[in-house]
Structure 1
Amino acid sequence: MALTAPVASHNPSGAFERLLTIMDDLRTNCPWDKKQTLESLRHLTIEETYELSDAILAADMTEIKKELGDIMLHMVFYARIASETKDFDITDVLNSICDKLINRHPHIYSDTHVNDEADVKRNWEQIKLKEGNKSVLGGVPASLPALVKASRIQEKARGVGFDWENKDQVWDKVEEELQEFKDEFNTADETLIDKEKAEGEFGDLLFSLINYARFININPEDALEKTNRKFIKRFQYLEEKAREHGKNLHDMNLAEMDVFWEEAKKV
């Protein structure tokens, strides 16, 4: 016998209750939903997060709304599974984040004074240490992509005052690291290099560039992803034009490809 679907609500609490009711119905009656575990949902949640990221970069508000709904479903799903083992439920989750936000915003909910955003971040990290974190960097997930992780490491170090004073110093560091990399990887000849040392210098160079991006308010992950998308668009234009002219990229030389590549820049 079919269940009666809960009707839409036009207020936040009613809409959230509707989602919780649907989650209960699915967990009880749907063969797929009944089988899911915290572990089986994990990779799907990661995928949904990347889909939200794509929608944000595309500035597609309809897709952003949709992907936020998907992620909200996952949060409710995790809480429902945990409630079955009596570890926690959605109420515990919501109260936990509310308590955390209140505690970490003493300039809002207490008498702490802040002058700017930097003070807020500094207080945030100091409060985390008082809560039991052994290291300022302890909250950086080990599985983050390296580019994102470098940004988070630098932001957290800055939160306790470990940072350069101005962007000129950071750019000097970029140039220093670039020179060290060039010394390790001599582009002027074909001398065999120490790959491990060159890799280390290249990593230092990337880290310093990410640091400089932070100083000029550029998100390096977003910047690189936009460049990736730009390259893909131009390369696919190149492929399309080659097909239109009855050519195969494998049979074209670089000069021939460059003609279409320059056209792609104008599209």
Structure 2
Amino acid sequence: MDRLVAIMARLRDPETGCEWDSVQTFASIAPYTIEEAYEVEDAIARGDMADLKDELGDLLLQVVFHARMAEEAGAFDFADVAATIGDKMERRHPHIFGDAAEGGHHLWEQIKADERAAKAHRGALDGVALGLPALLRAEKLQKRAARTGFDWPDATGPRAKVDEELAEADRAIGDHKAEEIGDLLFAVVNWARHEGIDAEAALRIANSKFERRFRAMEAEAGDAFKELDLNAKEALWQAVKRRAG
């Protein structure tokens, strides 16, 4: 870690450092941080341990990068980041590091809620990061609201809401249609949550399935694929679907 921190300091040197690294900001680096997190997830999904090691290094570099910029601004450094997360993990596991009789996920969530409540003028939805993928953020917002009692008792309510929002999206016109489709997506996430389904993961599976089937269509039709009309493409899709699932 010391070596990596030193490398980043050298790269950020305004006179002798890298011309790209030295001019970056928190805002310019943030998209790369998000991208690297997804590449870690992709390596895990593929079961590629060698790639996972590499991607985790790329993600760690992002933490070091942000910490170095903060150090230059006089805010904090990498050691502060490590100390803060260490303190937090000990605080949220009092049954391991403290004198609590029991622990578990319920205790973790209660401690998190207490920490949020201790911060002045914090609402139930505060702290849900704006940069999260939209489906994941929708689920987190819904879970936060549910902790206050603002939730349906079972999946019947959110399922009916999907139909309601779909009808409203059908009736909407112009710019209002985008808003209504957004409401529909939010309702679908809520329904999935009540069914115990991770909407982000479910959509990722659907994306993968579509990609697999579409590539199979292209492979079967070859160079003629682009010239096929829609009916022919649909027939090919159905054939691939029956064969490959």
Counterpart Cα distance in 2 of 1:119 and 1:215: 22
- Kindly indicate whether residue 40 of structure 2 is the aligned counterpart of residue 52 of structure 1: yes
Please give the TM-score of this superposition, normalised by the length of structure 1.
0.75
* Cα deviations by residue, 1:212-257 (Å, 9 ceiling, x for unpaired): 323443221111012112112211221232225xx34444242x22
Equivalent residues in 2 for 1:167-182 (5 A)?
169-170=154-155, 172-181=156-165
Structure 1 runs of 4+ with >6 Å offset: none
Alpha-carbon RMSD: 2.9
Please give the TM-score of this superposition, normalised by the length of structure 2.
0.80
Greater mean deviation of Cα atoms: 102-111 or 72-81? 102-111
- Deviation at residue 107 of structure 1 after TM alignment: 4.0
Which of 167, 170, 189 lines up with 1:210 in the alignment? 189
Cα 1:223–1:81 change in 2 (3 A) is same
- The residue aligned with 1:262 is 238
Counterpart Cα distance in 2 of 1:36 and 1:131: 31
Equivalent residues in 2 for 1:1-80 (5 A)?
16-28=1-13, 29-32=16-19, 33-80=21-68
- AA matched with 2:72: E
* Cα deviations by residue, 1:167-196 (Å, 9 ceiling, x for unpaired): xx22x123322432454466xxxxxx3337
Cα 1:106–1:212 change in 2 (3 A) is farther
Q: Is the 8 A contact 2:169 2:181 kept in 1?
A: no
Which of 225, 234, 237 lines up with 2:213 in the alignment? 234
Equivalent residues in 2 for 1:55-204 (5 A)?
55-112=43-100, 116-132=104-120, 134-160=122-148, 162-165=150-153, 169-170=154-155, 172-181=156-165, 183-184=167-168, 193-195=171-173, 202-204=181-183
- Kindly indicate whether residue 231 of structure 2 is the aligned counterpart of residue 243 of structure 1: no
Cα 1:176–1:103 change in 2 (3 A) is same
* Cα deviations by residue, 1:112-160 (Å, 9 ceiling, x for unpaired): 4556523431332122211336112111123433211111112223445
3-state SS of paired residue (1:137) = coil
Counterpart Cα distance in 1 of 2:187 and 2:26: 37
Q: Is the 8 A contact 1:177 1:201 kept in 2?
A: no
- Deviation at residue 76 of structure 1 after TM alignment: 0.9
Q: Is the 8 A contact 1:48 1:71 kept in 2?
A: yes
- AA matched with 2:2: E
Q: Is the 8 A contact 2:68 2:78 kept in 1?
A: yes
Percent identical across equivalent pairs? 35
Counterpart Cα distance in 2 of 1:159 and 1:175: 20
* Unaligned segments of structure 2, at least 5 residues: none
Greater mean deviation of Cα atoms: 219-228 or 110-119? 110-119
3-state SS of paired residue (1:136) = coil
Q: Is the 8 A contact 1:26 1:34 kept in 2?
A: yes
Q: Is the 8 A contact 1:174 1:205 kept in 2?
A: no
- Kindly indicate whether residue 207 of structure 2 is the aligned counterpart of residue 223 of structure 1: no
Higher-Rg structure is: 1
- AA matched with 1:180: E
* Unaligned segments of structure 1, at least 5 residues: 1-15, 187-192
Cα 1:77–1:129 change in 2 (3 A) is same
Cα 1:183–1:93 change in 2 (3 A) is closer
Q: Is the 8 A contact 1:180 1:201 kept in 2?
A: no
